[in-house]
Structure 1
């Protein structure tokens, strides 16, 4: 019984999210079909008539990196149009629902099709939704962002994150190198960006540590 209650809550959350992002009603059949198929699959294989019992699951929620959030706000701004959609997508990510995070960002680019920050966020959300794989849709989103602003560091930085999570560190380093070259020297979020990169690239992190002096001079 509890399974059906959870499923019903998920369906209501989906409807509320579609209303929040003003998803075009003529396309509502797509998410409705997805929810219907999910319910049918649960009824077929989930055995909802079994009594409730606690289970120990495997955590699949990726924690949000505060350095990434700080970098994002430096790149694309805070308390603006982009910010509200990024926050909504973050909430879906915290809830372990990457498909809804991607839906949020898809709704965002529908409303602002020339916004490079939203296209960058959509690319990363789609990659997360696809199990950290760079699908054609994710690549298109990154390409669109770079086409809109070829000299902005945001799109290559986000592409690098997706590449690193997909296991292609060499390509990720190339994307990050371009992002750092495009970054203004006075950017206050440079250290945050470097922090994100080092967390995703253990090789670069090890090289950075080895480059530090063994006994740094005491601060004066």
Structure 2
């Protein structure tokens, strides 16, 4: 199938899900720019006119760190309706289905448009999909921050996306913010502090 046709079908699927779920216009104003940014990136790769073909799982597999999944549960809660979409996304990413891994989070947002969990998850999924903190991923993280400006999850996971992209200096700023937003008595504060300390050690070794 032609690449542009595949992209159009994906977009149509997302639109139908959002429409049938009765999503508010507020969410449309965020999802549509994300879809446009994704389409632009797709076109810039220069493969939009090539026939579609099955994904090569070995080339696209994402390593999902169990300790990060546990920390995500501590930060955002476990066994919730919106969290189930992230579990599904993780499973798809592990299999190398990056497109589907991002799409399932968008589907979840059709049901939970104000979910901090899913907006953070969308930023993560888009960064994993693109192998970088793309404009679309930043837009999703920014929206998560607007939903809960005093919650440490958005800066922590945006920082993690920068770590995975190799931009440790930018990651440091986000993790420092996440630690500052973590209450002293909360269980996950130590986990964030340990990761920030390790990151600072790496940066010091590199002369930063």
Pairwise TM-score range, normalised by the shorter structure: 0.5 to 0.7
Q: Within the alignment, does 1:204 sit opposite 2:198 as a pair?
A: no
Number of residue pairs the alignment of both structures matches: 167
- Distance, in Å, in 2 between the alignment partners of 1:40 and 1:188 is 49
1:51 match: none
- Distance, in Å, in 2 between the alignment partners of 1:198 and 1:81 is 33
What does the per-residue CA deviation read over 1:100-155, in whole Å, with 9 as the maximum and x for residues that have no partner?
Answer: 11001111122212111210110010011112x22221111000000010000000
Q: Where in structure 2 are there 5+ consecutive unaligned residues? A: 1-9, 21-34, 36-47
- Distance, in Å, in 1 between the alignment partners of 2:75 and 2:153 is 6
- Choose from 17, 23, 32 the match for 2:17: 23
Structure showing greater radius of gyration is: 1
- Distance, in Å, in 1 between the alignment partners of 2:196 and 2:64 is 14
Do 1:123 and 1:141's aligned partners in 2 also have CA atoms closer than 8 Å? yes
Instruction: Give the Å deviation of 1:191.
Output: 3.8
2:61 match: 61
- Distance, in Å, in 2 between the alignment partners of 1:130 and 1:86 is 17
1:138 match: 137
Structure 1 segment 80-159 matched on structure 2, within 5 A: 80-131=80-131, 133-159=132-158
CA RMSD of aligned residues (A): 3.5
- Distance, in Å, in 1 between the alignment partners of 2:52 and 2:115 is 37
Q: Within the alignment, does 1:163 sit opposite 2:199 as a pair?
A: no
Do 1:105 and 1:122's aligned partners in 2 also have CA atoms closer than 8 Å? yes
Do 1:109 and 1:115's aligned partners in 2 also have CA atoms closer than 8 Å? yes
Q: TM-score, normalised by structure 2?
A: 0.67
- Distance, in Å, in 1 between the alignment partners of 2:124 and 2:172 is 16
Instruction: Give the Å deviation of 1:42.
Output: 4.1
- CA separation of 1:42 and 1:126: change in aligned 2, threshold 3 A: closer
1:179 match: 178
- CA separation of 1:134 and 1:206: change in aligned 2, threshold 3 A: closer
Instruction: Give the Å deviation of 1:67.
Output: 1.4
Q: Where in structure 1 are there 5+ consecutive unaligned residues? A: 1-14, 31-36, 44-56, 209-220
Instruction: Give the Å deviation of 1:205.
Output: 5.2
- Distance, in Å, in 1 between the alignment partners of 2:52 and 2:137 is 27
- Distance, in Å, in 1 between the alignment partners of 2:53 and 2:62 is 25
